[in-house]
Amino acid sequence: MTTTVIPKTKWAAAGDVLRGLRFRLGMNEDRMAILAAVWEKEAGGFSRHWQLSAVRKGILYIKPRSPAAAQELQLRAPGLMRGLNKYFKTPWIKGVKQAAR
């Protein structure tokens, strides 16, 4: 009689894998919560015309609701980036771009 030996594998909980992946990709829930909390304060009245879309590799993607809002976003992007980064220990927003419609 032959016995089959099942190799020992290292299993990980899904939450641990997800946390590790988020860390490697640079995603942090705390950062996103802070960003959402200070968005309206830093964007001011333009927060009605700009919608946060995503953050990828330090680039903040924003969907403007009109062509005029898109142009205003281009003009105000450097100041918006500086204003948002002041709420974090280390600046992590490297740029602001318009998201695809």
Tell me the per-residue pLDDT of 5-15, one tens digit each, with 9 for 90 and over: 655 656 666 66
Beta-carbon count within 10 A of 42 CB = 19
Separation between Cα atoms, residue 32 and residue 83, nearest integer Å:
15
The pLDDT tens digits of the residues spanning 72-98 come to 999 999 999 999 999 988 888 999 999
The pLDDT tens digits of the residues spanning 12-42 come to 666 666 566 555 555 566 788 888 888 889 9
Domain boundaries, the chain: 14-98
14-98: which CATH number, 3.30.300, 1.10.3210, 3.30.1490, 1.10.10?
3.30.300
User: pTM for this one?
Assistant: 0.68
Whole-number pLDDT of residue 1: 59
